[in-house]
Structure 1
């Protein structure tokens, strides 16, 4: 991709937007950025970027700022309904995601991971296995570090381990991973995608440019994925906890739950496809301790276990977290709804969940979906929710924060939500 002297507009000043700006500058493009937010933190960031020589628009997107652009690079949070996307369509200006931009300048092979649940755990575990196998790698993408910001650090002998969301994949063009992993697909992001089919098809784009020399690592227990595999050209590797040809003993895993066995199997086969020996894979899965905010044990208070699963932003992830808990559970849930169907949770609450403490914008919707089969209590803050849950719990039971929702109604992100929960619990 030759971008020298090309006018390129980056949309969004999150981590990926800022990284894209700087990558574009290194490639000789005339890059500028537009950001709809006018928060003080954004204004401060914009001022710093202006000192680096960039033109920055904040507080709005305007046609005057976009005029003359030959390429638009988006951050994952930019919806199709955005003024910029509509303007680009009207004016026949190409739109790509930041991972597509970075891909064009990435020389090492890429292993890309997508799915509704388990992406971050699997991505991190692949990086861990590759290191145990003697392969230098950089973990980036939707996991937190922007792909564009890591390009200069990647060596030819490295591997790029990239977590990819449906939003990112929906705007790729030439992006082609050496190994593509599709973990699972359940309802998610229906506040952005028209329906499940559109969401699923966006995920499937991870395979669209692969050839017979590449690898597709697929969950054989996901019916939607299995049905869609006939159009995948890459070599297919299927994984399942029930497969006797597993590369390791699931009992060796420190992370618990059937879903984590699936995550580990996907990671193991992805690493194997890249040449890691089985012995190194076994050693790696034995030493992987899991990640913060994912079924993370916080502490025990008067016999009650407190568990931080703030990364749970889907109903399915909460169901999997419940399966990992022994004894009765007081569930803390709620936040910003992603147009989820909370009624799916009903059968998993019976004989398992003693009560649900509800927070955030979605609390009335969740209560309407499950309130007739389980005790519910509303709280106006996470601190109030934790105190209520503690008062309801008895020794031997667990208080589980597994929100099933996005965090942006009350917190900066799921990490902020999880840190606040842990601080509250440690102060009990």
Structure 2
């Protein structure tokens, strides 16, 4: 248990935000003797309210009162921006502000593999957990998948024992308020423009939030990063003295000419690792992509995952077994079905334009694209060439539908929908046999939905109803 964990007993703690992670960290802190007060600017859900009442945890909803300032430290939901008045006042008053991830890490006895990046972090984290889990029971440990993947770290950290593995997916929002969080293995899949509205248009500030994943690592820890990503390649070329053991990965073996210590790459058609100077062939590209797990981006995800588990001590056989059976994750280029000769793909997790572009690159043939939601200040012009090449009709919905219309109506047919249900209907009307309807919004879900999972499930429900 960390020094900070020992200071929790008897402390007064305000938790800002009463969603999943807020409730989970409130319960964790109470179990360890803290006096917890939960405050949410909006109404609490029935389940959250009942949970707090049952445990006798004080709370307020519909705004933050002065009571939240009567605290030794505060836990701030990742969805609350830094410029919110109550957060600014706390900062000026010298109140320690932490994320749920940070607090959970104080109580974590398991080994931690942390995964962040703009795109691919969920797939990579899921792959890592699958690889670690193949022979976990035989080797006497358990694997936990937590964090941004949808399960709060705080809700499971109490079950973790020494020797277990916690695979923690991390968004930039969650990392912003991490001050001592330290993964044994850190992974950065890539850094691309995203969430620039949160960071005042600054890519540097966004990247710096991601770099917090390795800020507390030591020399015997590991950092896996994407050497094909220009931002990461340049950053680690200039910061080698500040980081633990570096393990770059790249689709191109030429990237590592003259390097003979640690990396992962494609050697011909075989995914290969070099760890401690020892070269090992892991799996062929054909075997890797024999299921629905396809695309250049998924090759990067596989390289990242393999590099991470190999330095974590996982053998080749479990890695091969996990890769050979992996079929992707829900809401990430998920095949939903074929109706009237048209394939329907759910890529609701594409919450930025880079993810949207990767989806267009992966899906073969012509596409009816469903895109929209709440924009993040991205430059739509980056999509022009791909839209022109791949899209027959663009169905725009949500707050950004006018922006999609303005950006692409001179390139392809663009139709607008006022709801997701209408968007699905319009996509079905415009798709012809042999095409694919790709639901890849390229924007956040927060204009119409609680999260991308809810959005993806609604998309699949609409398809089922239409098919029936």
Question: TM-score normalised by the shorter chain: which range applies?
Answer: over 0.9
Alignment of 1:37-116 (within 5 A): 37-38=42-43, 41=45, 45-63=48-66, 65-116=67-118
SS at match of 2:406: helix
SS at match of 1:350: helix
CA contact (8 A) 1:359 1:379 kept: yes
What is the rounded CA distance, in whole Å, between the counterparts of 1:402 and 1:191 in structure 2?
A: 20
SS at match of 1:389: helix
1:11 aligns with 2:2: no
1:233 aligns with 2:238: no
Alignment of 1:14-413 (within 5 A): 14-38=19-43, 41=45, 45-63=48-66, 65-134=67-136, 135-194=141-200, 195-229=202-236, 230-231=238-239, 232-242=242-252, 243=265, 244=267, 245-246=272-273, 247-253=282-288, 254=291, 255-413=293-451
What is the rounded CA distance, in whole Å, between the counterparts of 1:19 and 1:387 in structure 2?
A: 39
Q: How much does 1:67 deviate? A: 3.2
Pick closer, same or farther for the CA change 1:332–1:81 going to 2, 3 Å.
same
Q: TM-score with structure 2 length normalisation?
A: 0.88
What is the rounded CA distance, in whole Å, between the counterparts of 1:144 and 1:222 in structure 2?
A: 26
What is the rounded CA distance, in whole Å, between the counterparts of 1:303 and 1:383 in structure 2?
A: 21
What is the rounded CA distance, in whole Å, between the counterparts of 2:163 and 2:344 in structure 1?
A: 43
Q: How much does 1:389 deviate? A: 1.5
CA contact (8 A) 1:115 1:185 kept: yes
What is the rounded CA distance, in whole Å, between the counterparts of 1:133 and 1:119 in structure 2?
A: 23
SS at match of 2:23: helix
- Say how many residue pairs are matched: 425
CA contact (8 A) 1:299 1:426 kept: no
Unpaired runs of 5+ in structure 1? none
SS at match of 2:414: strand
Q: How much does 1:50 deviate? A: 2.5
Q: How much does 1:307 deviate? A: 0.7
Q: How much does 1:133 deviate? A: 4.0
Deviations 1:18-58 (A, max 9, x none): 1111111111111111111125x26x522431331111011
What is the rounded CA distance, in whole Å, between the counterparts of 2:436 and 2:51 in structure 1?
A: 46
Q: TM-score with structure 1 length normalisation?
A: 0.96
CA contact (8 A) 1:133 1:281 kept: no
What is the rounded CA distance, in whole Å, between the counterparts of 1:96 and 1:5 in structure 2?
A: 18
Deviations 1:338-373 (A, max 9, x none): 222222111111221111100000011122222221
- The RMSD of aligned alpha carbons is 1.3
Deviations 1:106-132 (A, max 9, x none): 111110000001111111110000011
Unpaired runs of 5+ in structure 2? 253-264, 274-281
SS at match of 2:63: coil
